[in-house]
């Protein structure tokens, strides 16, 4: 019977339990790598997280708003960051919006002026001096992010980048004032730790704002 | 399978407590590893048989989109692009009803309080979909989906990468399964699959229409069936019923 069903296995049926064991072990190993990368990144970037949060808090305090962006999975992570700041699980809401959320705007800009400009053109339309631009890329080389950061720098918009690998062009260009790098070459593991960075940053911003508020009281 | 999907074979942790799982330290995923393995094999089998994956995040919209883009546009060059679509609608049941087919996969992403989750998952089950629920925090009720993939975490877990990791791992393991062609066609009912031939407890179905004799057209995993509803009358369009031997033996309560 199994010869007929699985001729390529020479009569041996598929060893489902063994495969499931392998899959479970693989998941556990990947999760352990993910945990280690998260811990190592949060520790290495601790000083930069604090400095970035202070700069963001100062901007929020002065009426600044946060604009987030990214491509593909990173566009959804950018949406997550915007929701985290605007509708937080604790603490007060802060003005934040993801520039990858609107298909009509993205496709209009992509079709009419090119995909490289889909975020920079939105910053030109929406952002003003004192705002914050936060872009997420795993490679650190997404051209539409680099264009957006370049535009933001010219407009006194605070630039924050989340990158992976060695930080790529985002770390080298000089247009990203605060570049937080997840040193890994796995897109998945980078995105997971970028989530942890976002929460660390948000948490530090919340602490800073409440500390400043208490000091003024 | 049992009422309200409660008889659906569950992944290993499906029967554990519903409350917060503080006893498990974050990052310990011994049980989750097993859950992921079983879910990935079920999903790979469904894709191999031509399934579409429907991704729904009634509140966690960003995660539903992330799941779909993972499967459609793999980050690893050479991996198969798979049909996954986000349902972006305030009424995902109405959006899915004409689109989803028996044998498809539903991935719901959201915490245990996601509005409409129970109704969506029960209807998807009745239509013959394999259901996967990814979430964080207080655990979804046991039996609420065929596969419950859960991570501990505080209220910020939605954003801290731990939910993303759940479906990243699901994607990675699903593609490992594709490398083992022999396991993709189950010789028998595999873990996480629903046995339709030993339906002593009854199979769920959604009533499409009822005539004045109490005979109803009911949508089930096997297609549209004619079912005698007189013993549970009155039933109406949209009601979920349990079917046994051509007869509706119970109406599932409103979620």
Question: H/E/C letters for each residue in chain A?
Answer: CHHHHCHHHCCCCCCHHHHHHHHHHHHHHHHHHHHHHHHHHHHHCHHHHHHHHHHHHHHHHCCCCEEEEECCHHHHHHHHHHHHHHCCCCCCCCCEEECCCCHHHHHHHHHHCCHHHCCHHHHHHHCCCCCEEEEECCCCCCHHHHHHHHHHHHCCCEEEEEEECCCHHHHHCCCCCEEEEECCCCHHHHHHHHHHHHHHHHHHHHHHHHHHHHHHC
Does B64 score more than 80 pLDDT?
Answer: yes
Is residue B196 a part of any domain in this protein? no
User: Are B208 and B171 found together in one domain?
Assistant: no
User: Are B105 and B208 found together in one domain?
Assistant: no
Alpha-carbon distance A132 to A207, whole Å? 18
Please answer yes or no on whether B159 and A191 come within 8 Å at the CB atom.
no
User: Are B210 and B105 found together in one domain?
Assistant: no
Does B3 score more than 50 pLDDT?
Answer: no
Q: Which residues on chain B are in Cβ contact (under 8 Å) with A35?
A: 27
Domain of B46: which CATH number?
A: 3.40.50.10490
Report the first-to-last Cα separation within chain A, whole angstroms.
Answer: 80
User: Are B210 and B153 found together in one domain?
Assistant: no
What does residue B109 show for φ and ψ, rounded to 5 degrees? -120, 125
User: Are B91 and B212 found together in one domain?
Assistant: no
Residue showing tokens 């590893």: B33
Report the first-to-last Cα separation within chain B, whole angstroms.
Answer: 18
Query: Which residue among A9, A24, A80 places its CB closest to the CB of B33?
Result: A24
User: Are B117 and B209 found together in one domain?
Assistant: no
Q: Nearest CA of chain A to the CA of B174: how many Å?
A: 9
Q: Which residues on chain A are in Cβ contact (under 8 Å) with B161?
A: 34, 38, 191-196
Alpha-carbon distance B6 to B241, whole Å? 14
Of the residues A30, A42, A76, the best mutation for testing chain B's interface (the one with the most B CB atoms within 10 Å of its CB) is: A76
* Alpha-carbon separation of residue B160 from A38, A56, B190 (angstroms): 10, 19, 33
pLDDT in tens, chain A (217 residues): 333 443 333 334 568 999 999 999 999 999 999 999 999 999 999 999 999 999 999 999 999 999 999 999 999 999 999 999 999 999 999 999 999 999 999 999 999 999 999 999 999 999 999 999 999 999 999 999 999 999 999 999 999 999 999 999 999 999 999 999 999 999 999 999 999 999 999 999 999 999 988 998 8
* pLDDT given at position B197: 54
User: Are B106 and B73 found together in one domain?
Assistant: yes
Alpha-carbon distance B44 to B82, whole Å? 10
* Alpha-carbon separation of residue A185 from A49, A189, B76, B166, B235 (angstroms): 21, 8, 11, 19, 57
A-B contacts at Cβ under 8 angstroms: 135
Is residue B68 a part of any domain in this protein? yes
Is residue B51 a part of any domain in this protein? yes
Does B26 score more than 50 pLDDT?
Answer: no
pLDDT tens-place string over residues B220-249 = 999 999 999 999 999 999 999 999 999 999
Contact B170, B132 (CB under 8 A): yes
Please answer yes or no on whether A73 and B177 come within 8 Å at the CB atom.
no
Q: Is the peptide bond before A177 cis (omega within 30 degrees of 0)?
A: no
Angle (nearest 5°) at CA B169 between B164 and B171 = 95
The H or E element spanning position B55 is: strand B53-56
Residue of chain A with shortest Cα separation from B189: A16
Query: Which residue among A26, A191, A194 places its CB closest to the CB of B173?
Result: A26
Token couple for B114: 């996601």
pTM of the predicted protein model: 0.88
What's the longest Cα–Cα distance across chain A? Answer: 80
Edge to edge, the sheet with strand A66-70 lists A96-98, A66-70, A132-136, A158-164, A178-182
Please, what sign has the CA dihedral across residues B10, B12, B15, B17?
negative
What are the start-end ranges of the H helices in chain B?
A: 30-48, 61-72, 92-96, 117-126, 162-178
Exposed/middle/buried for residue A185 (C-beta within 10 Å: 0-12, 13-18, 19+): exposed
User: Are B89 and B215 found together in one domain?
Assistant: no
Kindly list the residues of chain B whose beta carbon comes within 8 Å of any beta carbon in chain A: 27, 29-30, 32-34, 36-38, 40-41, 61-63, 65-66, 69-70, 73, 75, 154-156, 158-162, 164-165, 168-169, 171-173, 176-177, 180-183, 185, 187, 190-191
Q: Is B61 helix (H, G, I), strand (E, B) or coil?
A: helix
Q: How many domains does chain B have?
A: 2
Of the residues B9, B24, B33, B187, the best mutation for testing chain A's interface (the one with the most A CB atoms within 10 Å of its CB) is: B33
User: Are B56 and B123 found together in one domain?
Assistant: yes
* pLDDT given at position A5: 40
Structural domain that includes position B36: 11-184
Please answer yes or no on whether A13 and B27 come within 8 Å at the CB atom.
no
Residue showing tokens 């759940």: B166
Please answer yes or no on whether A20 and B34 come within 8 Å at the CB atom.
yes
Domain of B208: which CATH number?
A: 2.30.30.140
Is residue B209 a part of any domain in this protein? yes
Is residue B111 a part of any domain in this protein? yes
Please answer yes or no on whether A28 and B176 come within 8 Å at the CB atom.
no
Here the ipTM equals: 0.92
pLDDT confidence of B15, banded at 50, 70, 90? very low
How far from chain centre, in Å, is Cα B9?
A: 12
User: Are B142 and B241 found together in one domain?
Assistant: no
User: Are B167 and B62 found together in one domain?
Assistant: yes
* pLDDT given at position B9: 32
Of the residues B156, B158, B181, B190, the best mutation for testing chain A's interface (the one with the most A CB atoms within 10 Å of its CB) is: B156
Please answer yes or no on whether B27 and A35 come within 8 Å at the CB atom.
yes
Query: Which residue among A2, A30, A195 places its CB closest to the CB of B160?
Result: A195
Contact B149, B35 (CB under 8 A): yes
Exposed/middle/buried for residue B224 (C-beta within 10 Å: 0-12, 13-18, 19+): middle
* pLDDT given at position B108: 98
Q: Is B220 helix (H, G, I), strand (E, B) or coil?
A: strand
Contact A20, A175 (CB under 8 A): no
C-alpha dihedral over B195, B197, B203, B205, to 10 degrees?
100
Is residue B194 a part of any domain in this protein? no
Contact A191, A77 (CB under 8 A): yes
Is residue B227 a part of any domain in this protein? yes
Token couple for B94: 């109405």
User: Are B175 and B208 found together in one domain?
Assistant: no
Is residue B195 a part of any domain in this protein? no
Q: Nearest CA of chain B to the CA of A154: how many Å?
A: 30
Token couple for A186: 């796995």
Q: H/E/C letters for each residue in B94-155? A: HHHCCCCCCCCEEEEECCCCCCCHHHHHHHHHHCCCEEEEEEECCCCCCCCCCEEEEECCCH
Q: Which residues on chain A are in Cβ contact (under 8 Å) with B65?
A: 75-76, 79
């Amino acid at each position: 019977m199994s010869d007929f069903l699985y001729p390529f296995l020479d009569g041996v049926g598929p060893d489902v339990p063994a495969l499931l064991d392998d899959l479970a072990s693989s998941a556990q190993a990947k999760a352990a790598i993910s945990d280690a990368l998260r811990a190592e990144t949060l520790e290495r970037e601790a000083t930069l997280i604090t400095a970035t949060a202070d700069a963001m808090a100062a901007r929020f305090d002065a009426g600044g708003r946060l604009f987030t962006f990214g491509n593909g999975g990173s566009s959804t992570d950018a949406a997550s960051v915007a929701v985290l700041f605007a509708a937080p699980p604790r603490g007060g809401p802060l003005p934040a919006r993801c520039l990858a959320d609107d298909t009509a705007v993205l496709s209009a800009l992509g079709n009419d002026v090119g995909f490289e400009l889909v975020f920079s053109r939105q910053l030109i339309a929406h952002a003003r001096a004192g705002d914050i631009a936060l872009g997420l890329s795993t490679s650190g080389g997404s051209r539409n992010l680099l264009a957006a950061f370049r535009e933001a720098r010219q407009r006194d918009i605070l630039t924050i980048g989340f990158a992976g690998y060695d930080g790529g062009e985002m770390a080298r260009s000089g247009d990203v004032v605060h570049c937080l790098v997840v040193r890994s070459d796995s897109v998945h593991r980078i995105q997971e730790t970028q989530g942890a960075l976002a929460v660390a940053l948000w948490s530090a911003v919340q602490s800073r704002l409440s500390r400043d508020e208490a000091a003024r009281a | 399978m049992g009422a309200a999907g409660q008889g659906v074979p569950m992944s290993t942790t499906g029967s554990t407590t519903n409350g917060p799982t503080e006893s498990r330290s974050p990052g310990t995923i011994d049980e989750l590893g097993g859950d992921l393995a079983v879910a990935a094999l079920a999903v790979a089998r469904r894709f191999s048989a031509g399934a579409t994956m429907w991704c729904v995040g009634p509140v966690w919209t960003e995660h539903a989109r992330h799941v779909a883009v993972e499967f459609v546009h793999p980050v690893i060059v050479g991996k198969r692009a798979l049909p996954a679509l986000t349902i972006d609608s305030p009424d995902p049941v109405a959006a899915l009803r004409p689109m989803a087919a028996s044998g498809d996969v539903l991935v719901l992403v959201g915490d245990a309080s996601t509005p409409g989750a129970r109704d969506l998952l029960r209807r998807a089950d009745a239509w013959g979909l394999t259901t996967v629920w990814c979430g964080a925090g207080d655990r979804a009720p046991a039996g609420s989906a065929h596969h419950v993939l859960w991570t501990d975490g505080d209220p910020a877990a939605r954003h801290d990468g731990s939910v993303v990791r759940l479906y990243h791992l699901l994607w990675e393991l699903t593609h490992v399964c594709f490398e083992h062609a022999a396991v993709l066609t189950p010789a028998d009912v595999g873990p996480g699959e629903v046995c339709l031939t030993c339906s002593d407890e009854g199979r769920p179905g959604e009533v499409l229409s009822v005539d004045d004799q109490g005979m109803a057209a009911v949508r089930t995993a096997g297609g549209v069936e004619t079912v005698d509803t007189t013993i549970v009358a009155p039933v109406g369009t949209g009601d979920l019923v349990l079917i046994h031997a051509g007869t509706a033996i119970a109406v599932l309560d409103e979620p």
